[in-house]
Amino acid sequence: MKKKLLFFAIILFTVVKGFSQTEAYPAPSINQCGNEVFDLTLQTPIILGNQDPEIFTVTYYLTQADAAANTNPILNPAAFVSPMQQTIFAKVVNTDDDSSAITVFQISWVSGIFVPDLPDVSGCNSYELPFIEVGQYYSSPGGVNEIPFGTVITQTQVVYVYKENDFGCSDESNFTVTIIPTPNFNAPQPITGCLMNNDGSAIYDLTPAIAQVTAGTTGYTCTFHQTQAAAEFGVNAIVNPQSYNSITGVVYISVVQTGTVSNCRWVAPIELIAIECNGNTITGFASLNFDNDCDTFEAAASGIPVYLTHNNDVYITYTNADGYYHFDNVPDGDNSVYVIADANSTVSPLNYSVVMPTEANEKNFCITPQFEAVNDVAVTLFPITAARPGFPASYVLFYQNMGTVTQNGSITLQFDANNLNFTNALPAMTQSGNMLTLDYVNLYPFQSKIAIVNFTVNVPQITSAGTILNFTANITPLTGDVNPVDNTSVLSQTVINSYDPNDIAVREGEFITEAQTNDYLNYTIRFQNMGTANAENVRVVVGLDENLDWSTFQAVSATDEFTVKHTGNEVEFMFTGIDLAFENEATGIVPESNGHIIYRIKPKTSVTVGDSMSAQADIYFDFNDPITTNEVTTTVQNVLGTGEKNISLFKVYPNPASESVNLHLPNNEANGFEVSVIDMLGKTVLKNSYITNEVSLNIAALNSGVYFISITSNGKHQVKKLIIK
């Protein structure tokens, strides 16, 4: 932004002489545009006039009394931060005889003018100049030849935006309007596809429409889109048009000249007709084996993901409580069915190669935990509704056994009893004050389960919007657990007044630290059938951010049985035959119109500070146009600065902790260190220095939650996560 210094004639001039040979010459007032920092020393040559600067000095003051008494001088006159108006007293002193004189001048500043940089635009045959808040349009620089907003531009030209205020402050920017003619092509014919999963969805090859539309004309790019709006703007193109899975009856083709950044697109609908292709089905059973004998049944492996790969498409289903799984309408040709073993287990067989439709379709798996005993249970708490004063609020407790030993224990959930009233839980939990307890038995290795916990938020007179609801969940047994950090889950939820029933949220929020990139990001998608009839099928499509690692994907919970399909950078959740009720307050079935999906996925190992992960969902109810949710973005931020060297690893115990936590540094780092405790928002909540290598840190004043402990010593640092119960 351009800034002009405006100098005005002096209004007031006062000279006080100590001796006749010393002069303080008048200095002009200074007025600045948009800058409150003044360089008063620019006035020094004016005030001295022809007096020798080696003998005469100039000092600046805020009052005449200070100038006369030589007290409280302005310490940094070269960068003086001023209020909008200020009187400055300048005192000239003769260093030979201490004679002096004082003069006065005014400084002031006004808000500057800022015209933002505007992007270049293009128009199809024409472009209408929109209304702008700052400035006016002109055809020439410097505010020459005004163009009213609303003017239709029909030829490519540069447009200037200029604004000037009463003080002469001005700013200008410009952008280019490019006018491109719209192409014209042939209308496409309907396309048929094979039905999948008996839900109306089908596989279509959309690419033959390109030749029909362009008739061999070169120099144009064709893309396919699920909605007309997306096609017209050239966004959200269908990733794999050769194998497009859809339950909608139409897609749109968009044609644009190759190599241009333009919205001059020719758009046309393509009718999709689904036909029955096959009834191929693959089913099977997954069992747990504890004695290395897969021939003898010992226990069902429930909640285990089973994968089916066909070409570049990956489908996922989950074994039910009895260990059974199924895939319907499997594509003809080569398919691979498999279960992925984790570090603590083996799977037999590794996979099945299934050629459809001729081969037998029952494929069973045997999962064997490693013989070394590994104890590792974990718990995570998720909100599945918004928290609103006077309304129900529901939560999912997701607990799992990631070890190799069958576990028995309990889960406790501490909640905010001042703002929440416990309603019920499934399975049932016992209540003691603000603590709920769930005892579990026979949680087999690799098995996961959920509990639904329901509360009612207090009325607005007690609990208002903005109130923070704090929860802490713990799972036992803790003894011998190889990863005790995930035995505790802390959740803070903000009470709100209104919400969108079709949305997506990420549990970790807008920011995570670099240390958290090794952990899961937990996403919840909520949906509600707001139509006028039940929805037989629901399909939810989520774009997979390039910074997320698909191999770590894990479904946590959903309101109904579903199948997951992964194609390219998209993940589809398909609910078939669920008959989701529609919103109808008169009949009292609003709760039955709601559904949710919870899934988790880790960032890629290459993610670093400054990277971000975004997610947005399109929700389809039967054949209706999708409802697009909000977009959530999580950015990796550095709460401790960059460029620091790592200190040798220090120990933090116990963790989780309450009241106090012990810190231990190796002896080679015991030269004194600084401890900082930082909350999830990056705020330092506790800081101290020590000269020993082992201390007990008092954390009794800190609220329950997740924190980071930073140790800094000799210019090096290390960070660890701390959970306070």
Note the pLDDT of residue 263.
65
The whole domain housing 456 covers 372-499
Which positions ≥6 away from 262 have C-beta within 8 Å?
Answer: 122, 124, 178, 180, 256
Residues 461 and 384 in one domain: yes
CATH number at residue 404: 2.60.40.1510
- 133, 242: one domain: no
CATH number for the domain harbouring residue 42: 2.60.40
Q: Which two tokens stand for residue 444?
A: 């087999």
Q: Among residues 499, 522, 553, which one ends one of the domains?
A: 499
Report yes or no on 388 lying in a domain. Answer: yes
The count of structural domains within the chain is 6
Tell me the Ramachandran region of residue 595: left when phi exceeds 0, alpha when psi lies from -120 to 50, beta otherwise. beta
Residue with tokens 């992960």: 613
Residue 451 and residue 332 share a domain: no
Instruction: Judge if 13 and 51 occupy the same domain.
Output: yes
213 and 248 housed in the same domain? yes
| 3-state DSSP of 332-369 | CEEEEEECCCCCCEEEECCEEEEEECCCCCECCEEEEE
List the structure tokens of 414: 């501490």
With a cut of 70, list the residues of the chain below it in pLDDT: 1-20, 196-199, 248, 260-263, 275-278, 296, 359-360, 533, 584-591, 623, 639-650, 666-672, 680-682, 714-717
Cα-to-chain-centroid distance, residue 228: 28
Global pTM? 0.52
pLDDT of residue 368: 87
Locate tokens 């708490």: which residue? 381
Q: Which of 484, 499, 514 is a domain's end point?
A: 499
Which residues, 6+ apart, have CB-to-CB distance to 588 below 8 Å?
A: none
Q: What is the pLDDT of residue 24?
A: 93
Question: Three-state SS for 171?
Answer: strand
Q: Which of 461, 483, 499 is the last residue of a domain?
A: 499
**For 52-91, how does the pLDDT look when each residue is reduced to its tens digit (9 = 90+)?**
999 999 999 999 999 999 999 999 999 999 888 999 999 9
Classify residue 51: in a domain, yes or no. Answer: yes
Same domain, 381 and 465: yes
CATH number of the domain enclosing 345: 2.60.40.10
Q: What is the pLDDT of residue 198?
A: 60
| In a shared domain, residues 670 and 716 | yes
260 and 359 together in one domain:
no
The CA distance from 77 to 74, in Å, is: 6
The separation between CA 241 and the C-alpha centre of its own chain, rounded to angstroms, equals 29
Contact 633, 662 (CB under 8 A): no
Question: Can you give the CATH number for the domain in which 695 is found?
Answer: 2.60.40.3080
Shared domain check, 249 and 363:
no
| One domain for residues 464 and 492 | yes
> What is the helix (H) or strand (E) element at residue 210, kind and residue range?
helix 208-214
In a domain, 392, yes or no: yes
Residue 578 within any structural domain of the chain: no
pLDDT in tens, 394-445: 999 999 998 888 899 999 999 999 999 999 999 999 999 999 999 999 998 8
Q: Is residue 102 part of a domain?
A: yes
255 lies in a domain? yes
Which single residue is written with the structure tokens 């800058």?
35
C-alpha to C-alpha distance for 122 and 177, rounded to whole angstroms: 5
Model pLDDT, residue 452: 93
508 is a domain residue: no
Sheet containing strand 392-401, strands side by side: 377-383, 392-401, 448-457, 420-426
Within this chain, do residues 271 and 285 fall inside the same structural domain, yes or no? no
- Residue 188, pLDDT score: 85
**Sheet of strand 407-414, all strands in order from the earlier edge strand to the far edge:** 430-432, 435-443, 407-414, 468-475, 488-494
On whether both 200 and 237 belong to a single domain, the answer is: yes
Predicted confidence at residue 241, as pLDDT, reads: 93
Other CB atoms within a 10 A radius of the CB of residue 134 amount to: 12
Residue 134 within any structural domain of the chain = yes
Q: How far apart (Å, rounded) are the C-alpha atoms in residues 655 and 674?
A: 20
